[in-house]
Amino acid sequence: MSLYELFRTLAQPSHALLLTAVLGFLMRPWSPRAGTVLLALGLGGLLAAGSLPLGARLAAPLEARFAPPQPPPARVDGVVLLGGFTSPEPTCDDGPIRLDDAAERLVETLVLLRRYPEARLLVTGGGWRFVAGCSEAERTARFLLRYGVDRERLLLETRSRNTRENALYARELVRPGPGETWLLVTSAVHMPRAVAAFRRVGFPVVPWPVDPIGVDRLGWPAVVDMPRRWRELDRAAHEWLGLLWYRWRGWIDG
């Protein structure tokens, strides 16, 4: 595991809390007090993160930045679908595509393609860092074709590994002309970083956020889904850290 991957792992609150608890448990034979404190912090943090809507609270300011335009555009030249909703696959066969919590991006894209039958679709998503095989864009295209999307409407960007590269390579592939309208479909919590990255490379897009974390999930549900809330907290923390990283690298405007 590279230092970058180690940082990404530890930057996820659920992982950091779990590792804190494990470290505390291992330390107890040699340093009972310190080990007990770390164990309590780790387990207590996991319990709080899984029981309370911390991810929704953290995501809400990001998700409030953009909303789909009202009224929707009368004419759309194209839709950009950002990857990040499938799992790695070794081949590009016609087998089932494995979707994750961000699958609403794909569903909403199908709706938009029906609403705007003349619009093109740019699917972005390259390979995974440690998995050789089929790119996410290729797997997504096969899924879309099975649902009746015309192959002539599809543009595939298969090189990108992150949001900045999504923007760079999409700009190279599309070369949008003056006055063209391109919708950008991604999760609401991810939209601020995505829009900033696209604008930074000179690709003006109209945000079309989906898959909100911080909407209608701020209360106390009848059944607490702890793994879901851990994932929501990890996603929100990832976006805040991503914004800081992109600003520091100069990939988005401050």
Q: pLDDT class for 130, splitting at 50, 70, 90?
A: very low
Give the up-direction half-sphere exposure of residue 29: CA atoms within 13 A in the CB hemisphere. Answer: 2
Read off the pLDDT of residues 131-161 as tens digits, 9 standing for 90 and up: 456 788 888 888 888 888 999 999 999 999 8
Spatial contact of 113 and 119, defined as CB atoms under 8 Å apart: yes
d(CA 20, CA 22): 5
Mean per-residue pLDDT, 73-92: 82
Supply the pLDDT for residue 54. Answer: 92
Amino acid at 18: L
> Cα angle at 110 between 104 and 111, to 5 degrees?
90
Measured distance CA(163)–CA(23) in Å, rounded:
33
Q: Confirm if 166 and 197 have CB atoms less than 8 A apart.
A: yes
Record: fold of 73-210: Rossmann fold (3.40.50)
Q: Mind listing the pLDDT tens digit for each residue in 159-207?
A: 998 999 999 999 999 999 999 999 999 999 999 999 999 999 999 999 9
Strands (E), the chain: 78-81, 120-124, 154-157, 182-187, 206-210
The pLDDT assigned to 1 comes to 46
Q: Is the pLDDT of residue 110 over 70?
A: yes
Cα 79 from Cα 184, distance rounded (Å): 6
Q: Which two tokens stand for residue 206?
A: 């109209």
On average, the pLDDT of the chain sits at 87
Position 89 scores a pLDDT of 63
Which of 73, 76, 100 lies closest to 86, judged by CA?
100
H or E element in which residue 45 lies: helix 32-51
Sign of torsion, CA 145 151 157 162? negative
Q: Which pLDDT score is estimated for 87? A: 67
Q: Which pLDDT does position 91 carry in this prediction?
A: 60
Q: Work out the average pLDDT over 83-88.
A: 75
- For residue 218, the model assigns a pLDDT of 46
pLDDT of residue 93: 65
